Amino acid sequence: MTGPLTGVRVVELAGLGPAPYGVMLLADLGADVVRVDRAPADPADLGRLMAGCWRGRRSVAVNLKHDAGLRILLDLADSADVLVEGFRPGVAERLGFGPQVCLARNPRLVYARMTGWGQDGPLSTAAGHDLNFLAVAGLLHGMGRADAPPPPLPGYVGDFGGGGAFLAIGVLAALLDRRRTGLGQVVDASVLDGAASLGSFVYGLAGMGEWTDEREANLSDGGCPFYDTYQTADGGYVAVGALEPRFYAEMLHGVGLDPADWPQHDRTRWPALRSALTARFATSTRDEWAQRFAGRDACVSPVLRLAEAPNHPHNVARGVFEEAAGRWQPAPAPRLSRTPLSVGRPAPRIGEHTAEILTELGRTADDVARLRAIGTVGEN
C-alpha cells in the first residue's frame, strides 16, 4: 500500500453501512486494515452487500464468543493504531472489548465507534437506517417534489456522507492529536450528527429567512426552473444548474431562448419558463443536448446511468473510476500530489487471511489448526 497512512494499522469489526465505507477511505489512504469477520460465517449475512466498500483489507474470521477468539481480537488491538466497531452502544463492552478494556491495554489506540444515533441520548440503542437519521436531522422533509412525500434515498447522504466520511475525519483528527499527546481516544461518530452537519448550509440559510421547509420552493431544491432536471426525446435526462446570471444566459441561448424575454429572478415567469424548457429539451436526445452544450459554460450535463459514468470522457481522462475483477469502482479520493492513493488489495473473502494474520500474532501452525478445529477461527 502507498499513501499518507502507510504504517497505520486499523482493526475493523465487520459490519454494515457507514463503518465499512469509512474504513475503505482509510485503506485508500494507505492504512493496513485487518477486518475481523464472524466465525462461523452466517449464510444469511448481509455483509456481502458491502462488497463495494470492502477493498484494501485482509480478513480474519473469529468467533468472539470464544475466550480464545476474544484474545485474538485483543491481541490485534494491542498492536493497532485504530479500532473501528459499528455495534449498538454497549455491545462491544458486553463482548469484552469496549474502549475501557482496549485503551487500558493500548493507551495510544484510537477507538472509533460508528452508530446511527450516537453513543448516548434516548434513541442511542434504537434501530434505524439512513432514512430515519435524515428524518430526525431535519433534512429529509425538504427533499423531493412538492406533490409527493419525501423520497427514500440510497445511503449516499446519511450513511456514507454523514456517517462513514465523518468517521474517517474523526479517526484522522485523533491520529493527529496522538502525535501531540501520545494518547489515543474514543471517536463517537453517528450518522445523525454527520447528516446534521451536512445540513449546515441549509440551516444557515433558514436562519436568515432565505430557505423554507416547503419542497420545491428554494433555488437549489427544484423550486426554480434553471436548477432542475428535464426529460429528453429519448427518455433520458439533462441536469440544469444555471444559477449564476451568466450561466443562466448561456443555458437559454443553448436551447434557443432569448434571456431578455426571461428575466432570471422574475418568479411570476418561472412556471412559463419551466414549461418552455420542458418543451425545448424534449425536442432532442440527451446525447444531442450534451453535444450541443459541449464547450458552453451553461452548467448543463447529461444524467448518466451507473454503467455509463465510467466511460464519460472527463471521467476517463481523470481516472475517476478504476476497473477491478471485471467491475468498475470509484477510484480513491481526494488526489494527493506527493503520496498518491491506490485501490490496493481487492475485497477479500471472509476469513481469507486467517492463517496469515494469526501467524503475525505469534500463533503457530498447530495453534491455527487447533483453533480452526474448535470453531474459534474460520476461513471461507
The answer to whether the CB of 322 falls within 8 A of the CB of 316 is: no
* DSSP notation for 213-248: SSTT-STTTT-STTEEEEE-TTS-EEEEE--SHHHH
Concerning whether 353 is annotated as a catalytic residue, the answer is: no
Pairing between β-strand 327-330 and β-strand 32-38 as defined by DSSP bridges: unpaired
Q: Residue 146, Cα to own-chain centre: how many angstroms?
A: 27
Q: Which of 249, 208, 205, 246 is nearest to 223 (CA)?
A: 205
Q: Residues 37, 81, 159, 193: which is the catalytic one?
A: 159
- The residues pairing with 323 across neighbouring beta strands, listed in sequence order, are 328
Q: Report helix, strand or coil for 188.
A: strand
- Name the one residue in this structure whose C-alpha cell is 424534449: 282
The yes-or-no answer on residue 129 being catalytic is: yes
Q: CA 309 to CA 330: how far, in whole Å?
A: 10
Give 271's contacts (C-beta < 8 A, 6+ positions apart).
Answer: none
Catalytic residue among 66, 75, 129, 367: 129
DSSP, collapsed to helix, strand or coil, labels residue 255 as helix
322 bridge partner residues: 329
Backbone angles phi, psi at 300, to 5 degrees: -120, 125
* Phi and psi angles of residue 114, each rounded to the nearest 5 degrees, phi first: -115, 115
Active site residues: 129, 159
